[in-house]
Structure 1
Amino acid sequence: MEKLYGDVVRSGDVDRLGEYEVTESSIVAFAVQWDPQWFHVDPGAAGDGPFGGLIASGIQTMAILQKLAVEAVFGKFHILCGKELTDVRFRQPVRPGSVISGTMTTTTVLPEPDRGRVLVGYDVELTDANSGVVLTAVMAVYMMLPDTP
């Protein structure tokens, strides 16, 4: 598939993300390597903890966001780089069995033709099919404009 350039992006565009199923084993495997807190790695102890069970690391939730964003949106475009990820809010825990999806709504499109790029801003929302919104954030990326050397 031929990749698109940032000149086709419009403020108000809404992109729907695919789905990602979170399993107990994926939570534990991720946390063992990147966030080995007991409520991410020990299902028994987590059951007696403040969340009433195992929960995914916030870092894992952001990694899921990135995977879904690349598959549904960024993979279609000539992306130069990410600029920022701000206002990240973890609205509720992600648990084993969660099916994560969401939306990316384009909020800003700021062409920089002299630099051959456009800055595109998004409001992001991830949801769990079972329990509602789990993460919100603001994201911005640079995309190439056509005829950029």
Structure 2
Amino acid sequence: MTAQATDGRHAEDFTVGEECDLGTYEVTEQEVIAFASHWDPQDIHIDPGHAETGGRYGGLIASGLHTLAILQRLQVLGRREHWNVIAGQGIDRLRFRRPVRPGDVLSGHSRVIDVRLEPEWRRGLVVFDVRALNQEGKEVLTMEMAAYLEMRSEATAGRRA
């Protein structure tokens, strides 16, 4: 176990139903264009003129991958304490619900939906329902995200906070 693993939250500290607000993030036009220019260079993401007149969304919109990256940032920075993450396990049911536009203020929210302790590996799989909402409270992205976290020790295996 690392020195870092002695502090912060471990897999056995999470309970199903636990919720967390993850903070907010304002999306800028410059950031939308810069991200998409590098990672998703479609006109609806990088060309305001085309997006306004030729796109079906009536203006520039952020790449879905950009929205996912923003939500990941909120997920990491929105934690109130250190988590002893080993690795992400995966993302399921990822849905882009509506476009994200420059000027939108996104907020993140997560809820624990499953905790599976694996004492033989000194880890647990924690699964979260994660959502991003715009300033109107409308969902822009939903997903289930799972991560492996360290357990404290074999002595606490099977116990939950």
Q: Does 1:79 align with 2:85?
A: yes
Structure 1 unaligned segments of length 5 or more: list them.
none
Q: Which one of the candidate residues 39, 48, 51 is aligned to 1:43?
A: 48
Query: Which has the higher Rg, Structure 1 or Structure 2?
Result: 2
Helix, strand or coil at the partner of 2:149? strand
Q: Does 1:30 align with 2:40?
A: no
CA distance in 2, matches of 1:63, 1:75: 21
Is the Cα–Cα contact under 8 Å of residues 75 and 108 in structure 2 kept in the other structure? no
Structure 2 unaligned segments of length 5 or more: list them.
155-161
Helix, strand or coil at the partner of 1:106? strand
Counterpart of 1:70 in structure 2 is 76
CA distance in 1, matches of 2:31, 2:136: 18
Helix, strand or coil at the partner of 2:36? helix
CA distance in 2, matches of 1:73, 1:107: 17
Q: CA deviation at 1:144?
A: 0.3
Counterpart of 1:5 in structure 2 is 10
Q: How many residue pairs end up in the alignment?
A: 148
Provide the TM-score with structure 2 as the length reference: 0.87
Q: CA deviation at 1:140?
A: 0.5
Q: Give CA-to-partner distance per residue, 1:34-79, whole Å, 9 cap, x none.
A: 0000010000110011000000000000100110011123962100
Q: CA RMSD in A?
A: 1.7
Is the Cα–Cα contact under 8 Å of residues 27 and 106 in structure 2 kept in the other structure? yes
Is the Cα–Cα contact under 8 Å of residues 21 and 100 in structure 1 kept in the other structure? yes
Following superposition of structure 1 onto structure 2, how do residues 107-118 of structure 1 map, counting pairs within 5 Å? 107-118=113-124
CA distance in 1, matches of 2:121, 2:43: 47
Helix, strand or coil at the partner of 1:89? strand
Following TM superposition, the consecutive aligned residue runs of length 4 or more in structure 1 with deviations greater than 4 angstroms are none
Q: Does 1:55 align with 2:34?
A: no
Instruction: Report the residue type matching 2:90 in the other structure.
Output: E
